[in-house]
């Protein structure tokens, strides 16, 4: 399981909760060779995900996102701003000015979060872009 595949599964879960078999199919289509049991264990162990058992033994569990932390919300907002620039590099200062007012942050924190984000790349003098 790569971070890119996990990011795709997480984005799918943002839209709605999904059954384990659907997420497993998406993971395999993205290149993962993990079994459904391994995927279940991953979601059961990671913070921010909920695994709800089926009502019967035959029903597959449903995976959903739990409450996101303030850092995760900021990370998502940063990615959306960079995506909106359609492939052009975005200065961290511009991201800072485009963030909604609910976020209290700094340019340094934006750069630090971008470095930790698998879909973003930091390069040059504080520029951000989507990772290829």
Q: Exposed (0-12), middle (13-18) or buried (19+): which is 57, by Cβ within 10 Å?
A: exposed
Residue 120, helix vs strand vs coil: strand
d(CA 8, CA 23): 10
Q: Choose between 59 and 36: higher pLDDT.
A: 36
Q: 65 pairs with which residues across the strands? A: 49
Confidence at residue 15, expressed as pLDDT on a 0 to 100 scale? 86
Q: Full-prediction pTM beyond 0.95?
A: no
- The whole-chain average pLDDT of the chain stands at 91
Average pLDDT over residues 12-40: 94
Confidence at residue 121, expressed as pLDDT on a 0 to 100 scale? 94
Q: How far lies 10's CA from each of 13, 14, 53, 97, in Å? A: 5, 6, 19, 27
* Percentage, residues of the chain above pLDDT 70: 98
Q: Exposed (0-12), middle (13-18) or buried (19+): which is 95, by Cβ within 10 Å?
A: buried
Confidence at residue 54, expressed as pLDDT on a 0 to 100 scale? 74
pLDDT at 29 over 80: yes
Q: Which residue ranges make up each domain of the chain?
A: 3-65, 70-130
pLDDT at 58 over 80: no
What is the third-level CATH fold of 70-130?
Answer: Arc Repressor Mutant, subunit A (1.10.10)
**Residues 87-118: tens digit of each pLDDT:** 899 999 999 999 999 999 999 999 999 999 98
């Amino acid at each position: 399981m790569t971070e890119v595949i996990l990011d795709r599964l997480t984005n799918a879960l943002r839209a709605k909760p999904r059954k384990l078999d659907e997420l497993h199919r998406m993971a395999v289509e993205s290149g993962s060779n993990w079994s459904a049991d391994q995927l279940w264990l991953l979601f059961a162990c990671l913070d921010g995900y909920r695994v709800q058992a089926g009502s019967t033994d035959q029903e597959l569990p449903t995976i959903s996102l739990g409450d996101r932390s303030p850092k995760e919300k900021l990370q998502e907002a940063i990615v959306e701003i960079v995506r909106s620039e359609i492939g052009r590099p975005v200065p961290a200062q511009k991201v800072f000015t485009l963030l909604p007012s609910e976020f209290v942050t700094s340019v340094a924190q934006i750069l630090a979060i971008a470095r930790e984000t698998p879909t973003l790349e930091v390069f040059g003098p504080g520029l951000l872009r989507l990772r290829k």
